Amino acid sequence: MLNVNELESKWLRYKIKSYIPHAIIAVSTIIITLSVVTIYNLKPTVKVDVHADKNLQVSPTKTLPLVEQNTTIKEKSQQAIIANSNLAIIEKNKNPLQNSTPLAQSNEQKKDKIIMSPSLDFMVNMRTNIPAKYEIVTPAKDIQNIVIEEPIQENVLDLSEKAIDLESSQEDVSYESKKGSISINRQNTHDDIKYVIERFKKNNNPALSLFIAKKYYELGDYHKAYNYSLVTNEINHDIEASWLIFAKSLVKLNEKEMAIKTLTQYIDHSKSNRAQILLDEINAGKFK
Amino acid sequence: MKSSIYQSSKNVFLDTVNVEDYIQLDRVSTIYQSLKDSVRKPLKMILLFGKPGTGKSMFLTKLYHDLSSIQKVYIYRTPILDESEFYKVLAQDLFGIKYKGELNFTQFMRVVEEYETEETPLVLLDEAQLYSNSLMEKIRLLSDTRKVKFVITLHKTEKEDLIAKAHFQTRIWETIELENASSMELKIYIQKKLMKANCFDSANMFQNKSVNLIHKLTNGNYRDTNKLLYTLFDIYSYYDEQNNYTAINRNHISNKIIEMSAIHTGLVNA
Ligand SMILES: Nc1ncnc2c1ncn2[C@@H]1O[C@H](COP(=O)(O)OP(=O)(O)O)[C@@H](O)[C@H]1O
Ligand SMILES: [Mg+2]
């Protein structure tokens, strides 16, 4: 029997949830625009270039107080952002490398399912090498649940659409920030990743973790790229792009042997052309 | 209990496959026409391909219904998985020969080759992805004799893509692919379905905006749309019984109720 009342409250929660991302985007756009404007104002030389000389004479006295105000606001908001992101990182990393053990165990249990996984030894090495803050905390339990419950394929499709949305929204922002400085651009990408990480924490969707891995790789954060592609492979071990990022990150982390081993295994199982090309490049020393 | 318009609208979207419920959609009828043409061609096999819920079974049923008055045609809606059983059923249905013991492929092949008729019997197999590879191969060999013609439907998934590659790339196959509906087609589908059951008021409530949202949620999959709308009218009936008229607007379908139905049917995670 249909419980309409319960459904109504579920719907309400769903609506609220679906508005949160919009709210976040709106707020961060405002903050970014604000900081762009402030930085713009902070550079009088730029202003002189752009505007006519007349303005120069009139503006100083009038704009100065404004600028001051803006800066304080901006500073506060930036502090807030930094505080936030730190928090997120810390939270995220609470569960650091402990992960490797449950992951490995689950690998063994599902041996027929998950065809390859990085060797344990290597994970142990990583544990000692990498400061805790690089670790990701996706409890292995969650991963298993997802593997069993969700029809991953459909999900991937569905979410990659969303991921595309995200990318396009990022474009918007970076367009705005062209006017501003490079540092803002960066902040931006980090904010985006942060937002995607939040979403990934909620639904464990491999399309999201792959997106994060790619972004971190682009930013040169190969530890995180490694971690997120590893998580992606755990959830769905048939995503070619994820294996490629995984292997490339390994090379960047000076784990060439491991990268070659992993890629070889992956190619055995998938016959992936792109993986083969990458493997050849790594072997030939073309990819470093 | 009063039987409201919403109750009857709800029953329109029960997930069943009956010929009487078949809806003419432009794209579907072109495909249907080409399927009927293919059946007449000397092709030995026709493959109906598509994701679950794109209307393959409906198509096959319609074909069976239309052809049964003019030619020998047999439909098997659920696969006969046991090989010997499969041959025995075909021998019985197609040639009227009854076998008691086991019937293996070589024996059945002999029966088929010796059988003389003016017209080739047409065999429709639904859910063929459930047949084993080896039985599929035998079916192919059977159609090579040109004494039987097969139309089979197959779910489109990665695994079946492989089977498709192995078996269906030869020229004896004609492949027809069914796809999800576009937003426009979905609107026609919903409205025609409701109007067929005389639910004109409900049909009028589906304007482009509502249909677009439904299309977004179901991707235009007929089965998912059926499920969604079944729940939707269930909710409408509930509000109607409660005399909750604030929740129901008779001019158009409420987005909220569409989304509630999507949550209930699992099309969105809430
Ligand atoms: N042309 C059509 N006319 C009416 N109903 C259709 C049509 N195509 C699909 N449906 C409906 O969609 C549902 C799913 O179709 P079905 O043939 O069972 O899909 P498949 O066999 O591809 O999984 C069925 O309940 C059927 O009533
Ligand atoms: Mg079917």
Query: Does any domain span residue A54?
Result: yes
A56-81 pLDDT, tens digit per residue, is 444 343 334 444 444 444 444 444 44
- Choose between A164 and A205: higher pLDDT: A205
Question: Is residue A6 assigned to a domain?
Answer: no
* B98 and B196 assigned to the same domain: no
What local confidence, expressed as pLDDT, does residue A120 receive? 41
- Check whether residue B161 and residue B33 sit in a common domain: yes
Radius of gyration, CA atoms only, chain B: 22
Average pLDDT, chain A: 64
Are A102 and A234 spatial neighbours (Cβ–Cβ below 8 Å)?
no
Query: Of B26-40, B42-56, B86-100, B127-141, which range is least confident?
Result: B26-40
Query: Mean pLDDT, to the nearest integer, of A125-148?
Result: 40
CATH number (domain holding residue B42): 3.40.50.300
Mean pLDDT of B152-179: 65
pLDDT tens-digit readout, B220-263: 999 999 999 999 999 999 999 998 888 888 889 999 999 999 99
User: Same domain for B192 and B142?
Assistant: no
Place of tokens 């470093």: A288
Choosing from B178, B202, B222, the residue where a domain stops is B178
Cβ partners under 8 Å of residue B121, min gap 6: B72, B73, B74, B94, B148, B149
Instruction: Give me the domain span that covers residue B248.
Output: 4-14+181-265
- Tell me, what amino acid is at A130? I
Number of structural domains found in chain A: 1
| Ligand 2 center–CA A168 separation, angstroms | 38
- Mark yes or no for CB contact A13/B238 under 8 Å: no
Mark whether B82 and B154 lie in a shared domain.
yes
Confidence of residue A232 (pLDDT cuts 50, 70, 90): confident
Residue B140 CA to ligand 1 center (angstroms) comes to: 27
Q: Which residue has the tokens 């579907």?
A: B28
Task: Give yes or no: residues B74 and B113 share one domain.
Answer: yes
The total number of structural domains in chain B stands at 2
Q: Which of B178, B194, B226 is the last residue of a domain?
A: B178
Distance CA B89, CA B69 (A): 21
Length of chain B: 270
Answer for the pair A39, A67: CB distance below 8 angstroms, yes or no. Answer: no
pTM for the full model?
0.56
How far, in Å, are B21, B125, B223 from residue B176 at the CA level?
22, 15, 19
The answer to whether residues B255 and B124 belong to one domain is no
Nearest to A7 among B158, B264, B269 (CB): B264
CATH classification of the domain holding A159: 1.25.40.10
Is residue A259 situated within a structural domain? Answer: yes
Domain annotation covers residue B188: yes
The number of the ligand 1 atom at minimal distance from the alpha carbon of B18 is: 27
**A148-156 mean pLDDT:** 40
Asked if residue B137 has pLDDT above 70, the reply is yes
CB-nearest to B260 from A8, A17, A203 is: A8
Chain A residues with CB under 8 Å of B270 CB are 10-11, 13-14, 17
Whether residues A11 and B270 touch (CB distance < 8 A) is answered with: yes
- Domain limits at A92? 39-284
Q: DSSP letter string over chain A?
A: ---HHHHHHHHHHHHHHHHHHHHHHHHHHHHHHHHHHHHHHH-HHHHHHHS-HHHHHHHHHHHHHHHHHHHHHHHHHHHHHHHHHHHHHHHHHTSTGGGHHHHHHHHHHTTTTS-----HHHHHHHHHHS-GGG-----HHHHHHHHHHS-HHHHHHHHHHHHHHHHHHHHHHHHHHTTS-HHHHHHHHHHHHHHHHHHHHHH--HHHHHHHHHHHHHTT-HHHHHHHHHHHHHH-TT-HHHHHHHHHHHHHTT-HHHHHHHHHHHHHHH--HHHHHHHHHHHTT---
Ligand 1 centroid–CA B17 distance in Å is: 6
Q: Is B263 at the interface with chain A, CB within 8 A? A: yes
Do B175 and B186 touch, CB atoms closer than 8 A? Answer: no
Q: Which atom of ligand 1 is nearest to the CA of B28?
A: 1
Residue A14 touches partner B, C-beta closer than 8 Å = yes
Question: Chain A contact for B200, CB < 8 A?
Answer: no
Looking at the domain assignment, is residue A22 inside a domain? no
Same domain as B133, residue B260: no
